[in-house]
Amino acid sequence: MDKEFLEKVKKSLEAKKANLEARLSETAKKEDGDHYATRFPNYGDDEESAVSEVEDYDTNVDIENNLVKDLRATNAALKRIEEENYGICLKCSKQIEPKRLEAYPAASVCLNCKKR
């Protein structure tokens, strides 16, 4: 895989990582590694606030689960660049289509394996 392409991918993955971490830090507290704990919101002591707190907490947990999933895929792709096996399908060991990597730089399997 050519160096220029890898540099481009690395930059876009790093930007994505920073963006995901910034979004996560709005509602969650970072723990060890890539684990995040959702903060419980505090709107007040009345019953209405308590209901909103629980609702927002649930929403935040859902949003964070998706962000964390994205972040892990992004980190894994950065690690593959470092280990110089980026762009190799984890299932069939073939080269992942460059078009697919351009559209989704964190891709870890090729289109064929994805469809399966």
Say whether residue 89 binds Zn ion (CB under 5 A). Answer: yes
Kind of pairing between the strands at 36-38 and 28-30: antiparallel
Say whether residue 111 binds Zn ion (CB under 5 A). Answer: no
CB of 95 to Zn ion, least distance (A): 9
Say whether residue 29 binds Zn ion (CB under 5 A). Answer: no
Cβ(88)–Cβ(95) under 8 Å? yes
Nearer Cβ to Zn ion, position 79 or 91? 91
In whole angstroms, what is the distance from residue 52 CA to residue 5 CA? 46
Instruction: Scan residues 90-109 and list those touching Zn ion (CB under 5 A).
Output: 91-92
Nearer Cβ to Zn ion, position 35 or 91? 91
Nearer Cβ to Zn ion, position 9 or 96? 96
| Secondary structure (DSSP) of 11-54 | HHHHHHHHHHHHHHHHHEEE-STT-EEEPPP---SSHHHHHHHH
Binding stretches for Zn ion (CB under 5 A): 89, 91-92, 110, 113
